[in-house]
Structure 1
Amino acid sequence: MASLAMNHILERIALFQFTPTHCVQARAMLGWSVEQLSREAEVAVDDIQRFEAQQDVADATRLALAYRFEAQGLVFFPGFAPGRKLNPQAMQQNVAERGDFA
Structure 2
Amino acid sequence: MASLAMNHILERIALFQFTPTHCVQARAMLGWSVEQLSREAEVAVDDIQRFEAQQEVTDAARLALAYRLEAQGLVFFPGFAPGRGMNVQGVTPHRVDREDFAMAD
TM-score over 0.5 for the pair: yes
User: What is the CA–CA distance in structure 1 between the aligned matches of 2:87 and 2:11, rounded to whole Å?
Assistant: 24
Moved over 4 A (4+): 88-93
Percent of aligned pairs with the same amino acid: 86
Give the TM-score of the pair, scaled to structure 1.
0.87
Contact 2:38–2:48 (8 Å) recurs in 1:
yes
Query: Deviation at 1:88?
Result: 7.3
TM-score normalised to the size of structure 2? 0.85
Q: Is 1:65 aligned with 2:65?
A: yes
> What SS does the aligned partner of 2:78 have?
coil
- How far apart, in 1, do the equivalents of 2:37 and 2:88 lie? 27
- Give the drift of 1:87: 2.8
For residue 86 of structure 1, give the secondary structure of its aligned residue in structure 2: coil
Number of residue-to-residue matches in the alignment: 96
Q: What SS is found at the alignment partner of 1:6?
A: helix
Hey, what's the Cα distance between the residues in 2 that align with 1:43 and 1:76? Answer: 19
Counterpart CA distance in 1 for 2:11 and 2:99 is: 37
Q: Which runs of 5+ in 1 are unaligned?
A: 96-102
Q: Where do 1:1-102 residues align within 5 Å?
A: 1-87=1-87, 90=92, 93-95=98-100
Deviation at 1:94, TM superposition (A): 2.5
Deviations 1:2-37 (A, max 9, x none): 000000000000000000000000000000000000
Shift of 1:69: 0.3
